[in-house]
Amino acid sequence: MDSAIRKEMLFHLTGKRAPDALDAIEELELRPALLARYRDLTRLRYDFPVVLVDAGPDGTFVRSLSEIVDEMLRKVAPRGVDGEGLRKHVLAVEREIRRLVAGGASGSLSSLWERAVREGAVGEGTALARYLADAGASLGVDGEVVDCDASMPRRLFTHAWRVAQERKARRLRSELSRLIVKLNDALRADFVKSEAGSRPESLKAALGDRHQGLFDFEAMSRLVSRATHGAPLSDARRNRIERVLATLRSQRFFAPAVGGSAARPDSLAFEFAFESAGEVLAAFRERLPSMIELTKAMAIAELEVDGRYSEAAHDGFFATFDEGAIGPEDLARFPDYLVCLKGGRVAADVPLMELLSSGVPVKVLVEVDDVLEDASLGKGQFAFGARNVQLASMALGLTDTYVLQSSSSNLLRMRQAIGRGLAAAGASLFSVFSPARGARGLPVYLVAAAALQSRAFPAFVYDPSAGPDLADRFSLQDNPDPEADWTVADFEYADAGMQRVKERLSFTFVDFLACDPRHSKHFARLPCAAWGDDLVPVADWLSQPDTAGSGRVPYLLAVDTENALQKVVVDERAILAARRCRETWHRLQELGGVHSSHAERLLAREKAVWEQRQVAEAETRAPAAAPAATVEPAATTPAAAAAEEAEPARSPDEAYIETMRCSSCNECTQINDKMFAYNANKQAYIADISAGTFRQLVEAAESCQLGIIHPGKPRNPREPGLEELLERARAFA
């Protein structure tokens, strides 16, 4: 082993770099090779910036700028050459907006559009300026434009939460309005029917100003008073309705609709966004009595509106109505609480798990800004921000909590899952990796995307309402290549002979680590002259279980600021961290049903049993014999047999009616309603054979148009005219 290789191995195993053989990467501004083409994000069309829109009919609360512009172009720019010019200019405006936002500009889409058109040096008053202004008016949506920066997750989630709450508020306001109107109608109807309501002045007031001169209200009052009225409302009922109305009108859980009556200061709606879990718990406890009162009032109101309130049955129940009577469906009608936490504070916020498991309808956003913090035990193994990275996994153990984990770069693609989480009943936890700043010239978006791609902060969703088991509830589908250990992408470069080379490169945890300057010490650049066969790509190295003593070292492919390829040796500690990251990813895959070890073992066992059975059957199969005769009992169909069994054995002399076929025509009951009666289905049967004569049986049989009455034989041999009656009865035997 030559000395160069020994120095590489020394660095790999110990992290100690020989300066004459390996270069430190701190000053080199290297980035992983797969990130080479993303130098200037403002020149690319991708998910950001996003526009926080008012909710559409499908509940969308966020859209990407590119998506909005594409939709607008479909409307205003004709296909083909004619529209190409406008399309080019519109896309230039979009690029300008992206540049402005990346530079820190803020505002609504409409205002940024105007600014971008202006600053794009389009002459005012020109046809192009008018076209672009019209295009801006055709955008169809407006809202705040937000780039992928440290503040984006909080702004996005707060906006989405407000949209979800407004939808909830509309539903509850509609319900409350209905109950208030119906209860008022009941009081009004009672007043109208009362003596006071029949007075001339009341009738005059009810008519309004316009046509009063046309009526004699004294005469009207006399007429109206003569009509009989139903019983007035009892005092108890009136008081109950008035109390309930007062509670419904004074609720503070939702603000009145826009344009509604102005609220007094003391009746302003409660605030539901807080900065800590402790504050949420305190607010919930404080408002619980009001919640109980409102739920009780709504229950009473619904019963009253439906006419089902019974004082004897319900007064006692409502007298002791407390929080025990409020179920999850009741809680779900009230606004959700929102609390936004920074990852560093989560550990200090002890009540967080208590809050998530309490059943309080709360939406918690935890912004994790670092997944690579070192262990507090000093140099050695990484802790990798275990407390924050593992928070979402810990919350899975709560089973009833909606959990979503993602990096901030992926939030647009997970907007539907975010919407579902915000609409879910009970608690929801959103754990988002949101880097505080970029690194090594990488913007925040790329750092966040690298965390997702490298499995350092994978995305997953756990939705308890999706079904009874993990297969329904847990999903990894928002990760790239969820079935693979690492994501893989194509990478093209020109070799020393300027020939194009295309490779498939994996983006591993080590690539993510290389993006963070704090961990530069785990990497060392190898000069080109030292590149040899002893170097193994990191992804291949990680896939080998035992690499000790192989005489080779792992390397990472990177690019410098000139986009020249570099190979960077990786030390063992970084490799160990990558292996742990992969193990964690494997655990998540198992939860998501990917490479489930239990399923694979069961499948292997079943396959072995099946194969054994196949072999056994092949050995015991006799030469073809005559096919066995089917020994099916021939005969009546089972239904017919059952039907025959169901019919009771009858004496041929007994009178009976085929009750099931009776059409309730009253012919027989008109003859003798003691002998013939209707059963619970209003079909005739012989109730009391002794209550009538054989003659009546025969007459009924003859009257019955369906012929289902069978007179049988007479019970009284001395009944007059029996011979004739028996002759007539023969037709109905």
Partner 1 sequence: MTTATQCLVHMHEEHHKLEDYQGGVPRWCNGCGDNAILAAVQRLCRDEDLRPEKTVFVSGIGCSSRLPHYMKTYGFHGIHGRALPIAEGVKMSRPDLNVFVNTGDGDCCSIGAAHWIHAIRYNMNLTMMLHDNHVYGLTKKQVSPTSPIGLKSNTTPRGSYLDALNPLTVTLGVQNVSFVAQVVDWIPEILYDVISAAFHHKGFSFVRVIQRCPEFLPKMFEPWLHDPQKTLLLSHENGLKISPALGRIYRNQLEHDPSDIDRAREIASQEDPIPVGILYRNPEVPCYEDIRNAGQLRTPEMIRAGFESELDKFTVWPQGPVPTQVSLTDERG
C-alpha to C-alpha distance for 204 and 192, rounded to whole angstroms:
12
Q: Specify the pairing of strand 50-53 against strand 62-64.
A: antiparallel
In 641-697 the beta strands, taken as DSSP E runs, fall at 656-657, 676-678, 684-686
Q: Give the binding range for partner 1 (CB under 8 A) out of 314-322, 408-416, 561-569, 685-693.
A: 314-322
Among 654, 706, 719, 727, binds partner 1 (CB under 8 A): 706
Element containing residue 722 per DSSP (H, E): helix 722-729
Instruction: Give, as one character, the DSSP assignment of residue 35.
Output: G
Angle (deg, nearest 10), helices 65-76 and 81-102: 160
C-alpha to C-alpha distance for 69 and 168, rounded to whole angstroms:
30
Least separation in angstroms between residue 693's CB and partner 1 is 19
C-alpha to C-alpha distance for 484 and 458, rounded to whole angstroms:
13
Nearer to partner 1, 375 or 642 (CB): 642
Among 147, 349, 369, 667, binds partner 1 (CB under 8 A): 667
Does residue 479 sit in helix, strand or coil? coil
Least separation in angstroms between residue 197's CB and partner 1 is 21
C-alpha to C-alpha distance for 335 and 705, rounded to whole angstroms:
66
Among 18, 141, 303, 677, binds partner 1 (CB under 8 A): 303
Among 236, 313, 576, 615, binds partner 1 (CB under 8 A): 313
Nearer to partner 1, 106 or 561 (CB): 106
C-alpha to C-alpha distance for 117 and 104, rounded to whole angstroms:
18
Instruction: Give, as one character, the DSSP assignment of residue 360.
Output: -
- Interactions with partner 1, residue window 131-160 (CB under 8 A): 142
Among 177, 234, 390, 563, binds partner 1 (CB under 8 A): 177
Least separation in angstroms between residue 636's CB and partner 1 is 10
Q: With binding defined as CB under 8 A, does residue 682 bind partner 1?
A: yes
C-alpha to C-alpha distance for 542 and 544, rounded to whole angstroms:
5
Q: Among residues 672, 720, 662, which one has the least CA distance to residue 699? A: 672
Total Cβ atoms within 10 A of residue 182: 14
Least separation in angstroms between residue 323's CB and partner 1 is 11
C-alpha to C-alpha distance for 203 and 214, rounded to whole angstroms:
13
Least separation in angstroms between residue 588's CB and partner 1 is 36
Nearer to partner 1, 28 or 677 (CB): 677
- Interactions with partner 1, residue window 227-286 (CB under 8 A): 256-260
**Mask: binding to partner 1, 92-131, rule CB under 8 A, as x and -?**
------------------x---------------------
- With a CB cutoff of 8 Å and minimum separation 6, the contacts of 5 are 532, 534, 551, 553
Q: With binding defined as CB under 8 A, does residue 550 bind partner 1?
A: no
Angle (deg, nearest 10), helices 277-305 and 152-193: 30
Among 115, 173, 345, 728, binds partner 1 (CB under 8 A): 173
CB-CB contact of 49 with 397 (8 Å): no
Total Cβ atoms within 10 A of residue 622: 5
Q: Give the binding range for partner 1 (CB under 8 A) out of 69-77, 311-319, 509-517, 590-598.
A: 311-319
Q: Give the binding range for partner 1 (CB under 8 A) out of 339-347, 406-414, 460-468, 680-688.
A: 680-688
Both tokens of residue 120? 């794009």
Total Cβ atoms within 10 A of residue 582: 17
C-alpha to C-alpha distance for 387 and 389, rounded to whole angstroms:
6
CB-CB contact of 366 with 346 (8 Å): yes
Q: With binding defined as CB under 8 A, does residue 640 bind partner 1?
A: yes
- Interactions with partner 1, residue window 646-665 (CB under 8 A): 646-647, 660-665
Element containing residue 389 per DSSP (H, E): helix 386-389
Among 16, 118, 167, 243, binds partner 1 (CB under 8 A): 167
Which residues share a beta bridge with 684? 678
Nearer to partner 1, 426 or 482 (CB): 426
Least separation in angstroms between residue 113's CB and partner 1 is 13
Q: Give the binding range for partner 1 (CB under 8 A) out of 164-172, 203-211, 351-359, 714-722.
A: 164-172
Q: Give the binding range for partner 1 (CB under 8 A) out of 303-311, 401-409, 715-723, 724-732.
A: 303-311
CB-CB contact of 332 with 253 (8 Å): no
Least separation in angstroms between residue 53's CB and partner 1 is 12
Q: Specify the pairing of strand 402-407 against strand 428-433.
A: parallel
Nearer to partner 1, 53 or 569 (CB): 53
Nearer to partner 1, 321 or 493 (CB): 321
Least separation in angstroms between residue 665's CB and partner 1 is 5
Q: Give the binding range for partner 1 (CB under 8 A) out of 94-102, 312-320, 432-440, 544-552.
A: 312-320
Q: With binding defined as CB under 8 A, does residue 171 bind partner 1?
A: yes
Burial of 10 (0-12, 13-18, 19+ CB in 10 A): middle
Q: Give the binding range for partner 1 (CB under 8 A) out of 32-40, 264-272, 294-302, 548-556.
A: 294-302
Least separation in angstroms between residue 708's CB and partner 1 is 9
Nearer to partner 1, 236 or 642 (CB): 642
How many Cα atoms within 13 Å fall on the side-chain side of residue 97? 30
Least separation in angstroms between residue 326's CB and partner 1 is 7
Measured over the CA atoms of residue 602, residue 604, residue 610 and residue 612, the dihedral's sign is negative
Q: Give the binding range for partner 1 (CB under 8 A) out of 212-220, 295-303, 577-585, 620-628.
A: 295-303
Nearer to partner 1, 551 or 707 (CB): 707
Among 643, 650, 721, 727, binds partner 1 (CB under 8 A): 643
Q: Among residues 340, 167, 362, which one has the least CA distance to residue 254? A: 167
Among 203, 299, 446, 510, binds partner 1 (CB under 8 A): 299
Among 63, 333, 363, 695, binds partner 1 (CB under 8 A): 333
Q: With binding defined as CB under 8 A, does residue 635 bind partner 1?
A: no
Q: Could you check whether the bond before residue 648 is cis, i.e. omega within 30 degrees of 0?
A: no
Q: Give the binding range for partner 1 (CB under 8 A) out of 33-41, 321-329, 526-534, 578-586.
A: 321-329
- With a CB cutoff of 8 Å and minimum separation 6, the contacts of 64 are 46, 47, 48, 49, 50, 51, 412
First-to-final CA distance of the chain: 114
Least separation in angstroms between residue 248's CB and partner 1 is 12
Which residues share a beta bridge with 368? 433
C-alpha to C-alpha distance for 245 and 239, rounded to whole angstroms:
10
Least separation in angstroms between residue 357's CB and partner 1 is 21
Q: Among residues 170, 152, 151, which one has the least CA distance to residue 257? A: 170
Using CB under 8 A as the binding criterion, the count of chain residues that bind partner 1 stands at 63
- Interactions with partner 1, residue window 42-61 (CB under 8 A): 54
Q: With binding defined as CB under 8 A, does residue 687 bind partner 1?
A: no
Nearer to partner 1, 436 or 640 (CB): 640
- With a CB cutoff of 8 Å and minimum separation 6, the contacts of 563 are 36
Binding positions for partner 1, rule: CB under 8 A: 54, 110, 142, 167-168, 170-171, 173-174, 177-178, 180-181, 256-260, 295-296, 298-299, 302-303, 306-308, 310, 313-314, 317, 321, 325-330, 333, 637, 639-640, 642-643, 646-647, 660-667, 670, 680-683, 703, 705-707
